[in-house]
Amino acid sequence: MEKKQIAIEEGLFTIPDSPEKKPYLIGSKCNICSLVTFPKLTVCPNCAKKDVMEEIQLDGEGTIDTYSVTYAALPGFKIPSIQAYINLNAGPRVWGLIDCEEQDLEIGMKVELVIKKFKEDTNGNEIMSYLFRPCKPSGKMSRS
Ligand code: ZN
């Protein structure tokens, strides 16, 4: 049986079919007030109107607003586990895990979306999740 890549949850992000392609978060945009949300919604939280949200793809680039480093991680998560709120360039503030070393973390750091294997299921399929990683090395390595 062919092994597949399966999203940890449907409707949150796209899984690129080749490494050169960018992944996207699946969000929504209100066609009345232009509010952008992630995850996608059917009711606009600003207008309180139903069926005004259109599905859109968000490029997943943003900056770290604040973060927390956890040394007691949930099963399946590496320790330390870095969790952050990210202000996406597209608008929404989202929660996510950061794939980098603790010493490289910085508030205001630019991050991008990355889709990675979280675990394998019993059939060997790769269960994929989304996280964020620094866009470029932070340059802190030159610090002594
Ligand atoms: Zn709205």
Condensed to tens digits (0 to 9), the pLDDT of residues 88-144 reads 999 999 999 999 998 999 999 999 999 999 889 999 999 999 999 998 654 444 444
**What CA–CA distance (Å, rounded) separates 126 from 128?**
6
Say if residues 99 and 110 touch (Cβ distance below 8 Å). Answer: no
Distance 36 CA to ligand 1 centre (A): 9
Say if residues 84 and 119 touch (Cβ distance below 8 Å). Answer: no
Provide the token pair at 67.
């973060």
For 41-78, how does the pLDDT look when each residue is reduced to its tens digit (9 = 90+)?
999 999 999 999 999 999 999 999 999 998 987 777 77
Distance 109 CA to ligand 1 centre (A): 29
Q: Which residues of 74-106 are buried (b: 16+ CB within 10 A; e: fewer)?
A: eeeeeeeebbbebbbebbbebebbbebeeebbe
